[in-house]
Structure 1
Amino acid sequence: MKPSLLTLFLALIAPLTAAERPNIVVVLIDDMGWGDFSCFGNTEAKTPNIDRMAAEGIRFRQFYVNSSICSPSRCALTTGQYPQRWKITSFLENRASNKRRGMAQWLDPQAPTLARSLKSAGYATGHFGKWHLGGQRDVDDAPPITGYGFDTSLTNFEGMGPKLLPLTLKPGDTEPKKIWQEAERLGGPVTWMPRSKITTGFIDAAIPFIDQAAKDKKPFFVNLWPDDVHSPFWPPVEKWQEGKHGQYLAVLQEMDRQFGKLFDHIRDTPGLRDNTVVLIFSDNGPEPGAGSAGPFRGKKGTLYEGGIRSPLIAWGPGWVNREKVGTVNEASVFAAFDLAPSLLKIAGVEASTAFDGEDLSPTLLGKADASRKAPVFWRRPPDRKMAGTPPVPQPDLAMREGSMKLLCNYDGSEPKLYDLAADPGETKDLAAEQAETVARLAKAATEWHRALPADRGPELGAGS
């Protein structure tokens, strides 16, 4: 007997079973440049474990994060919304500094989160690594990380709850030293371990969580957000290098080596390899003098491409289009806040909130080359008006529409316009030649800026 049309329709709209829902691992590296993976062009250091993930997955060359600095970038990824909506527009610091810059003290626990949506659909959820969305310095009354939809968490000195804290050792030291000791009051238990091995510490906590979820026949969502490759740089003593850049490269290579344990475990475990999606990218551009932005202008804290464009690798043998494995997507333009709606779609979970991000799941899995339909907008961190050596004033706003990128001040003044298709390095300003385009884009950027909660960027930048 043939199934009725109603039966077929109900089968199409039925929620995915646990076995059909992918496990999701998001690896968010700290302060790494677009050009720092060797599979993205680094010739000074090798990242073979990450390169293998790229060879077995897809590389995206026009992927963006939603801020040029850590906390707001993480906020956008977590919520699927512009971080300005939640008044997190620069790195969260001490209470007085947050207030001075017109920012919240922590991410509002009422904010939508990817973890909470997945948990409500039956996922086991864990956060392992840096948080930096509340609970740092003297801000000791922030919500715990588990208040945002995670079943368990293990963090560093910038989050509430159990944590790993760093012991540092350099050549010639006879005893390790403790740093960030005051973070012990931000939750426990606290484990002190060598700073050069903390990425492994987070991985060693994540793997049993993953295995337990698999044993319980539950799909899992894991954030693995290492401290690496953020300064100060503490590679193993035997891999010590001279100079900031050399130390950075040593930490980068050691981080890649440590991640091999996680990637191999997923790849080599029956039941995980073909039902896990892994995303790997950075939260913002590189610290000046450390990492590389590749061919792009600008570094961490600026709105030029080097500050906001991130390398992205999507891996998932059972989910990524096999014909696209090992390829590079040069065309698709999207951003970190698009990942929340995209991953929910892949997981078969109905979104319960309105996102600023868009569902780009077919693109993420190599089944399309679509880009976002709406432009992407950025606002500079309120405390980062000046950058460079010698320091020069930086644009306050940026937006990308199609191949065109506009940068301007809060009021639309001093516009700069670049065609990124022809000029990805932002070397030729077309503003004087394309006045109508500038006027239209500047209007859109300033209206976006005014529509969102303000920080104190205009005041802090006035005297720069």
Structure 2
Amino acid sequence: MPLATAAPPPNIVFVLVDDMGYADLSCYGNTLAKTPNIDRLAREGVRFTQFYVSAPICSPSRTGLLTGQYPQRWRMNSFLETRAANTKRGMVQWLDVKAPSVARELQRAGYATGHFGKWHLGGQRDVGDAPLITEYGFDTSLTQFEGLGDRILPLLDAYDGTAPKKHALGSDNLGRGNITWMERAKVTGAFASRAQAFMTEARAKNKPFFVNLWLDDVHSPFFPPKAVRGDGAKKILYNAVVQEMDSQLGPLFEYLRTVPNTLVIVASDNGPEPGAGSAGAFRGHKGNLYEGGIREPLIVWGPGLVTPGVVNDKTVVTSVDMFPSLLKLAGKSQAHDGEDLSAALLGKKQPLRRRPIFWKRPPDRPGPSASERFPDLAVREGDWKLLCMTDGTAPQLYNLKSDPGEAKNLAQDQPERVRQLTEKLLAWNKTLP
């Protein structure tokens, strides 16, 4: 009998939406925007209800996805800003190139690797000496004002008779790449088109591809096309942007239907901006550790790879799991803080995770007032979630199975569980720089 041949490694496309809440896709309950292209992926693939990012804000969340490690291990505690602001918050100026990178590991495994869209891991505001994206294992990149190299910078057109305004946050003064100015409403389509061209090039070379399509939609400022702009109210503009983003992804998704052995992952990097997106029934928003800040949509699609029509409401997945899970699918093995949940991503199983998940609040998001502070730390183990301050005080304990909205604090009723989870959480916090 002939020997069985190993399955070829899959192509991987990771679509990361910026600042989109758990309930902002219509397949997750949004009635204010229609997202038929992403919804179709959800119907034909696996939709998760318990996916978490590693931080409720941009840069550390993205660090978790790229490295498979808790972002605080690399002093990535909040969003990268100016050099002075980063220093004030005890942060690095950019992600250390020595950090693990799923792109670098896949590149070593023979993948063509490309990053298209938002980076926000170095090279923004007045930080012009950060490493280029290609130094983290990407063969090529096209980014925006939160990264260096070739980039697209947006023009904000309010359609009020005034000239469109440039929105660069200093990126246009940093050099180190070609700059293309483009109407903000068209940027998602431009990134998707460039990503598609890269995939076509990789296929011509008979190479599997790994592509980050990290959109800067649906982050503010909200500038949808004139035809769907609405009356200017924040939520209306936001949902118009969500709908337009989905529309501009449509041609890419149709192209990927013609590319065999391809896995598409769609997620968001953190909870919604207050007054714009929606976390649905969950408490909280961008910047805090309640469910609304860290629980996000996750959809995995791939004909022939993924079991269709699965809604996984059992497996708790976090962004640091993507590193070992994607490497496993590519035939490699390497683990850091995450677990290999590749079988769950493919819809083959719905395993329970083995280890707890930990979070640390961004230092520049203390709370709405001096007397009302957000918890500093959080841990989830099984159905239980504990939040507390850095010294372990002010515990909040919730059973997420019976109380996903975190409405009833059970800390006084469960002192032993509070003690055990607090010990684990504070022990984890001590391992951080």
Normalised to the residue count of structure 1, the TM-score between the two structures is: 0.91
User: What is residue 34 of structure 2 aligned with on the other side?
Assistant: 46
| One-letter identity of the residue aligned with 2:224 | P
2:426 counterpart (446, 450, 464): 446
More helix by share: 1
| One-letter identity of the residue aligned with 2:352 | S
User: What is residue 313 of structure 1 aligned with on the other side?
Assistant: 299
Report Cα offsets for 1:256-277 as digits up to 9, x if no partner: 100111111101x2xx1x3000
1:262 corresponds to 2:245: no
Q: Secondary structure at the match of 2:170?
A: helix
Q: Secondary structure at the match of 1:166?
A: strand
1:67 corresponds to 2:62: no
Q: 1:101 to 1:181 in 2, by over 3 A?
A: closer
1:294 corresponds to 2:280: yes
| Alpha-carbon shift at residue 182 of structure 1 (Å) | 2.9
1:24 corresponds to 2:12: yes
User: For the residues of structure 1 that align with 2:368 and 2:61, how far apart are their CA atoms?
Assistant: 19
User: What is residue 99 of structure 1 aligned with on the other side?
Assistant: 87
| Alpha-carbon shift at residue 181 of structure 1 (Å) | 6.5
Give 1:54-453 correspondences, 5 Å limit: 54-180=42-168, 182-184=170-172, 185-241=174-230, 242-267=232-257, 269=258, 272=259, 274-321=260-307, 325-351=308-334, 354-387=335-368, 392-453=372-433
User: For the residues of structure 2 that align with 1:307 and 1:350, how far apart are their CA atoms?
Assistant: 30
- The answer to whether the 8 Å contact 2:310/2:347 transfers is no
- The answer to whether the 8 Å contact 2:224/2:241 transfers is yes
Report Cα offsets for 1:210-262 as digits up to 9, x if no partner: 00101110000000011100011111122212211111001010001001111
Q: Secondary structure at the match of 2:267?
A: strand
User: For the residues of structure 2 that align with 1:181 and 1:402, how far apart are their CA atoms?
Assistant: 42
| Alpha-carbon shift at residue 180 of structure 1 (Å) | 1.1
| Alpha-carbon shift at residue 141 of structure 1 (Å) | 0.5
Could you list the structure 1 runs, at least 4 aligned residues long, displaced by more than 6 angstroms after superposition.
none
- The answer to whether the 8 Å contact 1:302/1:387 transfers is no
User: For the residues of structure 2 that align with 1:73 and 1:181, how far apart are their CA atoms?
Assistant: 21
Q: 1:391 to 1:256 in 2, by over 3 A?
A: farther
Q: Secondary structure at the match of 2:144?
A: coil
User: What is residue 456 of structure 1 aligned with on the other side?
Assistant: none
- The answer to whether the 8 Å contact 1:135/1:186 transfers is no
Percent of residue pairs bearing the same amino acid type: 59
RMSD: 1.4
User: For the residues of structure 1 that align with 2:124 and 2:365, how far apart are their CA atoms?
Assistant: 20
| One-letter identity of the residue aligned with 1:75 | T
Q: Secondary structure at the match of 1:208?
A: helix
- The answer to whether the 8 Å contact 2:125/2:169 transfers is no
Unaligned runs of 5+ in 2: none
User: For the residues of structure 1 that align with 2:194 and 2:161, how far apart are their CA atoms?
Assistant: 29
Q: Secondary structure at the match of 1:75?
A: helix
| One-letter identity of the residue aligned with 2:247 | R
- The answer to whether the 8 Å contact 1:118/1:344 transfers is yes
Q: Secondary structure at the match of 1:393?
A: coil
| Alpha-carbon shift at residue 174 of structure 1 (Å) | 4.7
**How many residues matched?**
431
- The answer to whether the 8 Å contact 1:196/1:235 transfers is yes
| Alpha-carbon shift at residue 318 of structure 1 (Å) | 1.7
User: For the residues of structure 2 that align with 1:47 and 1:391, how far apart are their CA atoms?
Assistant: 40
- The answer to whether the 8 Å contact 2:38/2:246 transfers is yes
- The answer to whether the 8 Å contact 2:79/2:120 transfers is yes
- The answer to whether the 8 Å contact 2:272/2:293 transfers is yes
| One-letter identity of the residue aligned with 1:152 | T
User: What is residue 458 of structure 1 aligned with on the other side?
Assistant: none
User: For the residues of structure 1 that align with 2:300 and 2:177, how far apart are their CA atoms?
Assistant: 33
| Alpha-carbon shift at residue 168 of structure 1 (Å) | 1.3
User: For the residues of structure 1 that align with 2:178 and 2:292, how far apart are their CA atoms?
Assistant: 38
